[in-house]
Amino acid sequence: MADIKSSANPLFLREEELRQGIELLFYAYRDFTSDPDSILADYGLGRAHHRVLHFVGRNPKISVAELLGILRITKQSLSRVLTTLLEMGLVQQRQGTRDRRQRLLSLTEKGAELERRLSAVQQARVARAYREAGAEAVAGYRKVLQGLIDENEREKILQSIVRR
Amino acid sequence: MADIKSSANPLFLREEELRQGIELLFYAYRDFTSDPDSILADYGLGRAHHRVLHFVGRNPKISVAELLGILRITKQSLSRVLTTLLEMGLVQQRQGTRDRRQRLLSLTEKGAELERRLSAVQQARVARAYREAGAEAVAGYRKVLQGLIDENEREKILQSIVRR
DNA sequence: GACTTTATGTCAGCCATGTTGACATATATC
DNA sequence: GATATATGTCAACATGGCTGACATAAAGTC
């Protein structure tokens, strides 16, 4: 076991490198999510609401099922936050035309406004990091993050991100 | 407002780029945290326990205050998960020598074993992403993640990651 | 040596957000 | 007409954040 950690062993360096990549992701995500929280608190909303606002904003007329697929939570969990957002007039739903069982979700103007406020602070942080790191680094950042996504879903997700 | 979204406006591209960077981070983190969850479930543990195992593993003899600083949670929240880990014999505490009020935390052999299991799956995912993306991309990934961390804490965190 | 600050713990209760299971309804599809 | 699908709802529970209040032991200060 001590052998594995010996600095003569290339595996040690490799493991350290991976650990660093993991911790960086933890810290970056921790701070990245902290910005919108204070804004959300003013509305009595949480991160779950933010995620819904974000993905509904990005995907107007998204169905409940699609949204569930993105968020990977149960419909009961989604229902709770969605009900709040509907009651607050931040999200609106319309019956699907092709399939009238579907409830297609979109942001209201008020919802879009809040979403923009939330995006703004998050984008500011990302913009700063991009600026400091440079275009080449940004390409690498994206490449690695893509590789971290589950392989079987990656294609679908990338399309949903880049399309539009 | 419509002007801002016109494709003639360079800000549009920029905003799209930022949005993509944000969504990639969301998806990557979502999947990145999913791996250890099934292992943890076997022990009746959750992500909060994982975070403690990770940072105690990385920082043997860490004090409670230091750990609180990393995790950014309250002592009451930490207390809950820490008590469980102590009772399960995964973490041990020893009185500080310089300051006997401190309880310095370390993993037990059993705790280290579990931590390795959890690390392993997470490292496997990161290793795959690194391999696919290449060394240059990895450097960019790290650079951008560093830039996402709160500026006032960045130096301290980077030292704690790279040191050792 | 008394006083204050610090590191830590504990009890109690609240809230947000995830889960499962069971059942209901409307619509689409074969 | 029977079955499958999209969605909703009720109820109960678990995890992991939070605040507030109070306790204790040790360290540091005058």
Q: pLDDT tens-digit profile of B59-93?
A: 999 999 999 999 999 999 999 999 999 999 999 99
Q: What is the pLDDT averaged over residues B120-124?
A: 94
pLDDT in tens, A133-146: 999 999 999 999 99
CB contact under 8 A, B19 and A136: no
Domains defined along chain A, listed by start = 17-133 (1.10.10.10)
pLDDT at B10 over 70: no
DSSP string, B52-83: HHHHHHHSTTB-HHHHHHHHT--HHHHHHHHH
Sorting pLDDT into bands at 50, 70 and 90, what band is B11? low
Per-residue confidence band for A4, with pLDDT thresholds at 50, 70 and 90: very low
pLDDT one-digit tens code per residue, A49-105:
999 999 999 999 999 999 999 999 999 999 999 999 999 999 999 988 888 989 999
pLDDT of residue A147: 96
Report how far Cα B130 is from the mean position of its chain's Cα atoms.
17
Q: Which residues of B touch A162 (CB under 8 A)?
A: 20
The sign of the dihedral angle between the CA atoms of B140, B143, B148, B149 is positive
Distance CA A75, CA A71 (A): 10
pLDDT tier for residue B153 given thresholds of 50, 70 and 90: confident
Q: Answer yes or no: do B140 and A145 touch at CB < 8 A.
A: no
Tell me the HSE value of A39 on the side-chain side, using a 13 A CA sphere.
Answer: 17
Q: What is the pLDDT of residues B95-117, one digit of tens each?
A: 888 888 899 999 999 999 999 99
Helix axes A47-58 and A75-87, enclosed angle (nearest 10): 80
Res A2: pLDDT: 46
**Helix A10-43 and helix B135-148: axis angle, to 10°?**
40
Contact call for B139 and A144, based on CB within 8 A: no
Segment B12-40 mean pLDDT: 89
Estimate in Å the CA B99 to C1' D27 gap, whole number: 8
Q: Please, is A42 exposed, middle or buried when counting C-beta atoms within 10 Å of its C-beta (0-12, 13-18, 19+)?
A: exposed
**Nearest Cα residue in chain A from B25:** A145
